[in-house]
């Protein structure tokens, strides 16, 4: 899947992957900022809880976004592919000023929505300026390539990770969530070894990458974003390694971005938080 093209007078919307377990009470700064980007008290947020197996997930996020000041918040619980043909739900989605995917199982998302009019519409919405975000599995699905599943540990190994097609909002980065908490550096590196074009983003829990229309990542939350830049990779052993062998990857750059730090996907330059 490829990102939808923006018209000449339109600017792509923000892309907001969240590492999971975002703060929902007290000071929910990630969700609050998403509401602001979606239009504050005029925001109409479409929630897609397809990744979750819990029936109440969609209504919980409806309540959250309304409490945070959104004008409307509507859950669109696509459970089967036939649900994506509902014209009423497509109309609600088309009128949204923000789209948010909940957590759960990212393969449930891709298997239910992949290749449907819903996926195409979300890409078009983002291309015409609507922010699209997601948490945990809902974050993993956002780019062109998605980590479906993989092992744990800090060392990349051959066969450690499996990829699947994502939603296709961008091909510039690859997402891994619950990053520090579930020890996922190895599987993110393994995924990047297949094709060192994208930048790897490892998102800690309660941490989001607010990615602006001009492709600058702004870290928000209580954890950090691990940025893995393989643009200068000089060697990868992935083509010759046997299943389970540790991979050799040389000249990999890693940046750690806590709240307030940023990373420019165009220049590949990281900036620390302002004093």
Catalytic residues: 136, 178, 205
Other beta carbons within 10 Å of 9: 6
Report DSSP letters for 23-67, one per residue: --SS--HHHHHHHHHTTGGG-EEEEE-TT-S-TTHHHHHHHHHHH
Q: Is 24 helix (H, G, I), strand (E, B) or coil?
A: coil
Residue 236: alpha-carbon gap to chain centroid: 26
Q: Is 98 helix (H, G, I), strand (E, B) or coil?
A: strand
Residue 12, both tokens: 């792509």
Q: Are 262 and 270 in contact (CB under 8 A)?
A: yes
* Secondary structure letter of residue 85 according to DSSP: G
């Amino acid at each position: 899947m490829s990102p939808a093209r923006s018209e000449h007078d339109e600017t792509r919307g923000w892309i907001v992957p969240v590492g999971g377990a975002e703060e929902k009470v007290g000071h929910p700064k990630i969700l609050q900022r998403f509401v602001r980007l979606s239009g504050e008290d005029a925001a109409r947020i479409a929630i897609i809880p397809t990744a979750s197996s819990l029936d109440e997930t969609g209504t919980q996020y409806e309540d959250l976004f309304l409490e945070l000041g959104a004008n409307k918040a509507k859950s669109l619980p696509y459970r089967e592919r036939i649900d994506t043909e509902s014209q009423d739900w497509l109309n609600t989605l088309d009128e949204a000023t923000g789209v948010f995917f909940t957590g759960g199982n990212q393969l449930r998302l891709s298997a239910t929505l992949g290749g449907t009019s819903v996926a195409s519409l979300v890409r078009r919405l983002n291309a015409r300026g609507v922010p699209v975000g997601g948490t945990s599995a809902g974050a993993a699905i956002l780019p062109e390539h998605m980590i479906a599943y993989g092992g744990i540990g800090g060392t990349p190994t051959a066969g450690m990770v499996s990829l699947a097609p994502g939603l296709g909002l961008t091909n510039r980065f690859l997402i891994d969530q619950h990053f520090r908490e579930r020890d996922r550096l190895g599987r993110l590196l393994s995924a990047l070894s297949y094709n060192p074009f994208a930048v790897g983003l490892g998102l800690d829990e309660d941490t989001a990458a607010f990615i602006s229309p001009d492709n600058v990542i702004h870290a928000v939350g209580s954890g950090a974003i691990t940025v893995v830049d393989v643009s200068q990779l000089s060697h990868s052993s992935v083509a010759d390694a046997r299943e389970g062998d540790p991979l050799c990857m040389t000249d990999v750059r890693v940046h750690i971005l806590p709240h307030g730090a940023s990373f420019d996907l165009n220049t590949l330059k990281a900036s620390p938080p302002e004093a």
